[in-house]
Structure 1
Amino acid sequence: MKGIIYTGGELTDLATLARLPTYLQAFLRAQNGVVAYFGGLHIRGCVAAPGWHALAQVWQGERALWRTYGELRKSDIPFGQDCVGNQFLLRGDAVLLLDTETGELADLDVDFKHFLFGAEKFPMDALGLEPLRTFQQAGGVLQPGQLLSLYPPLCLATNGRTAPASKAVPAARRLAWLASFYEQIKDLPDGQAVKLEPL
């Protein structure tokens, strides 16, 4: 992996580690999660702290992703995320992508090993790095524990009335905002007007 800005420390959440498939356990034993591609990919670790890096929090904790997003199962493992907070999950051996704005779930037709291979070979496409590249070209830097907040959300048509903006925010705040946004729009018909507060 390129552009590594953070690697997880010691494995301190052995209970979560024991519940993972052997290939993910092996990856985390080698390096307990990582933030790579200058913030473009975060693979979570089995740790108690920092909270933003803890797999257990988004998998089984109070704010577990399956509690918000109806398409997810309790058994889906949210092992990582992209620069804007879309989630990479394992369902069996398949890697899925959760769009955290809309709740849509897509099968990426790869296993974990081939997901890592694709990210290494084609990071712009595999990880959706365009927002991060634009942010970096404007002088922005993502720190470990941060995600990009995009306003307006990508799923909204603004007819050019609102200039897109991005800023670095704590990951927990970004994920909470996305969950709240999803809850507001999930039952709305297409074309419905929405009023939003930026993060």
Structure 2
Amino acid sequence: MIGILFTGAPIASATTLALLPAYLQNFLRKQNGVVAYFGGLHIRGCGGVPAWHSLEEAWHGPTAFWRTYDTVERSDIPFAQDCVGNQFLLRGDAVYFLDTETGELADLEVDFKHFLFGVEKFPVDALGMQPLRTFQQGGGVLPPGQLLSLYPPACIATDGKTKPSIKAVPSSERLAWLASFYQKIKGLPDGQSIQFKSGE
């Protein structure tokens, strides 16, 4: 992996580690999670600190993805995320992609090993790094523990008059906003018009 900005501290507790498949255990023993590709990929680690890096928090905490997203099962392991907060989940040995704006879940038809191969070979496409590239071209840097906030959201078709913006925000803030947005739109039909209030 290139562009490594953060590596998790050595595993202090084996409680969560023991619940993981052997291949993910082996990866985390060598490198307890990482922020790589200059923020394009965050693989979570075992341990509670920092909270934004904690697999336990994302999997079993009060804001765990299965508590919010109808498509996510309690047993799905949210092992990683991209630069805008979309999630990569392990369901059995298969890697799934969760669009955290819409809640849509897609089987990437690869296992963990081949997911990493694909990311290393085609990081921009595999990780949807176009927003990060745009942010970097404007002089931005995405620090560990932060995600990119997109406005308007990627799933919204606009009239072209709204000026798009990209900014770095704390991971917890971005994920909370995405969860709230998903809850508001999940029952709406495609093509439904929506309006954003100031500050949303």
State the TM bucket, normalised to the shorter chain: over 0.9
Structure 1 segment 65-104 matched on structure 2, within 5 A? 65-104=65-104
Moved over 3 A (4+): none
Match of 1:143 in 2: 143
The alpha carbon displacement at 1:190 in A equals 1.9
Number of residue pairs the alignment of both structures matches: 199
Residue 180 of structure 2 is matched in structure 1 by: 180
Q: TM-score, normalised to structure 2's length?
A: 0.97
Deviation at 1:13, TM superposition (A): 3.5
Conserved? CA contact 1:13–1:48, under 8 Å: no
Distance in 1 between residues matched to 2:184 and 2:119, nearest whole Å: 32
Q: Distance in 1 between matches of 2:16 and 2:194?
A: 39
Give the aligned partner of residue 25 of structure 2: 25
Per-residue deviation, 1:189? 1.6
CA deviation map 1:127-151 (0-9, x unaligned):
0000000000000000000000000
* Aligned position for 2:193: 193
In structure 2, C-alpha distance between the alignment counterparts of 1:18 and 1:164, rounded to whole Å: 43
Q: Is the 8 A contact 1:12 1:48 kept in 2?
A: no
Residue type of the alignment partner of 1:16: T
Matching of residue 47 in structure 1 with residue 56 in structure 2: no
TM-score (ref. length: structure 1): 0.98
What's the CA shift string for 1:60-112, capped at 9, x where partnerless? 11110000000010000000000000000000000000000000000111000
Supply the AA of the counterpart residue of 2:119: A
Identical counterparts, % of pairs: 69
Aligned partners of 1:28, 1:144: CA distance in 2, in Å?
18
- For 1:195 and 1:82, the matched residues in 2 are separated by 27
Between the aligned partners of 2:112 and 2:120, the Cα distance in structure 1 is 12
Q: Contact 1:151–1:198 (CA<8 Å) still a contact in 2? A: no
Gaps of 5+ in 2: none
Letter in 2 for 1:111: D
Q: CA deviation at 1:159?
A: 1.5
Alpha-carbon distance between aligned partners in 2 of 1:153 and 1:36, rounded to the nearest angstrom = 24
Q: For structure 1, which runs of at least 5 residues remain unmatched after alignment?
A: none
CA contact (8 A) 1:5 1:144 kept: yes
CA contact (8 A) 1:58 1:78 kept: yes
> Partner residue of 1:127?
127
* Structure 1 stretch displaced more, 164-173 or 10-19: 10-19
User: AA paired with 2:80?
Assistant: G
